[in-house]
């Protein structure tokens, strides 16, 4: 899964868990009997990791974003 930098990973995970839980509960009614305590079917935590990206790639990405950002700030209203 790729999450654009403008979105917080925690908010994307929360939305994903909330929506899948809602859909699964509607489709599989027995889940309400199994998970009766309203805590939901998902655990509270989550794990996020980046794989295959080293520090040099991240630095180049940040530098390219800085160049894009300076171009966008040329216009003042």
Q: pTM to 2 decimals?
A: 0.54
Q: What is the pLDDT of residues 4-58, one digit of tens each?
A: 889 998 899 999 999 998 898 899 888 877 776 666 778 777 766 667 777 787 7
**Cα–Cα distance measured from residue 45 to residue 17, given in angstroms and rounded to the nearest whole number:** 11
The predicted structure's pLDDT at residue 12? 93
Split at pLDDT 50, 70, 90, the class of 63 is: confident
Residue with tokens 């859909």: 23
Show the tokens assigned to 48: 């996020």
Q: How many CB atoms lie within 10 A of CB 37?
A: 5
The predicted structure's pLDDT at residue 73? 41
C-beta of residue 44 within 8 angstroms of C-beta of residue 18: no
């Amino acid at each position: 899964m790729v999450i654009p930098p403008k979105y917080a990973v925690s908010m994307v995970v929360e939305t994903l868990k909330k929506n899948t839980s809602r859909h699964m509960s509607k489709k599989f009614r027995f889940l309400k009997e199994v998970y009766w305590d309203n805590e939901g079917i998902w655990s509270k935590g989550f794990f996020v990791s980046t794989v295959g990206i080293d520090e040099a790639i991240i630095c180049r990405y940040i530098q390219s974003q800085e160049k894009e950002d300076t171009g966008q700030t040329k216009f003042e209203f």
